[in-house]
Amino acid sequence: MYFPVSGVDVNPLIPPFVAFVVSCLTAPAGVSGAFLLLPFQMSVMNYTSPSVSPTNLIYNIVAIPGGLYRFIKEGRMAWPLAWVIIVGTLPGVFLGSWVRIFYLPDPEAFQLFVGCVLLFLGIRLVLEFTGGSKKQKAQNEHLEQKFKEQVAHVKMETHKKVTAGLPADAIVTTKTFSLKKIEYEFWGETYSFPTLTIFILAVVVGLIGGVYGIGGGSIIAPFCVSILGLPVYTVAGAALCGTFLTSICGVGFYAILATTSIGATTNVAPDWLLGTLFGAGGLAGTYFGAYMQKYLRETIVKGIMAVLVIFLALRYILQFFF
């Protein structure tokens, strides 16, 4: 099937299938999977024009509601964190879209940028296994121990080798939400961090996300987990929520630019049909991934993500120089 806007010719079943697999893998970590789909579109589908960024954002818009529904329904949404992320990333995503069009239109330069962003993500995930303060490590180890005990308890009660995860009472409860500090409780543990820290990070992430076409959740989530020491169970929903709303604004900005003189000289119009096909697979994948999160240990999710991200990062960086 030929997509005239992007110039891509591909079997229409491939985009939703690839998106489903990717989002199943990434949704448990609070990432929509757009940062992995972009390399797929560039390398496999040879879609390298600036319009690949807004097309990737369309995927986020269609795919993310599936995962958000599960996180909200099961009480694993940290709303204060989500709102600060949204407020911070919105200005950045507009600026990032502008930078993408005027300063990174060349495919090779854009691939180098993609590689650097992915390498940053991979390093952050790897450091999560070794970094963090003693308090953060103690909290996460305690949470991990409770997870193991929950699995053992369910197996003992049922006398079967069933899969067990977070209990129904493992929900996020907000304790403090102010300009100075955000504090919430999850499964008996209290987590707090400066509001300004998240806001500044969100602005920077919005800039990168606008350029890259990822919404920013794939950078926010690793930072919150590795630097702030927050459990991925509580970060995932907030990161996806921020990515969803900023993606809407990013697509709108690119669509407006496509109607101006800029759009007449540069291909910035999103491919709605291709993006929707990716999003359809992602919608099912994020729903399933969010559901499976409560059955997965954090170390498993972080390990898989780190391997994938670093592999892709090195590939794009080496391609630019060689």
Between CA 82 and CA 161 the distance in angstroms is: 36
Residue 137, pLDDT score? 57
Residue 45, pLDDT score? 92
Secondary element (H or E) of residue 190? strand 189-194
Residue 162, pLDDT score? 44
Between CA 107 and CA 159 the distance in angstroms is: 57
| Total-model pTM | 0.79
Residue 133, pLDDT score? 47
Between CA 321 and CA 319 the distance in angstroms is: 6
In DSSP terms, which residues pair with 8 in a beta bridge?
3
Q: Are strands 181-186 and 2-3 parallel, antiparallel or unpaired?
A: unpaired
Residue 178, pLDDT score? 93
For the chain, what is the total number of helices (H) and then of strands (E)? Answer: 12, 5
Q: What is the largest CA-CA distance in the chain?
A: 68
Other CB atoms within 10 A of residue 43 CB: 15
Domain boundaries, the chain: 10-321
DSSP string, 35-91: HHHHHHHHHTS---STTHHHHHHHHHHHHHHHHHHHHHHTT---HHHHHHHHHHHHH
The conformation of residue 268, written as its DSSP 8-state character, comes to -
Residue 161, pLDDT score? 47
Query: Could you list the pLDDT tens digit for every one of the 322 residues in the chain?
Result: 999 888 899 999 999 999 999 999 888 888 888 878 888 998 899 998 888 888 988 999 999 999 999 899 888 899 999 999 988 888 887 787 777 777 776 657 777 877 887 788 788 777 766 555 455 556 556 566 666 665 555 555 554 544 456 777 778 999 999 999 999 998 888 889 999 999 998 888 888 776 766 667 777 887 787 778 788 888 889 989 988 988 888 888 888 888 888 777 878 888 999 999 999 999 999 999 988 888 887 777 777 777 877 887 888 788 788 7
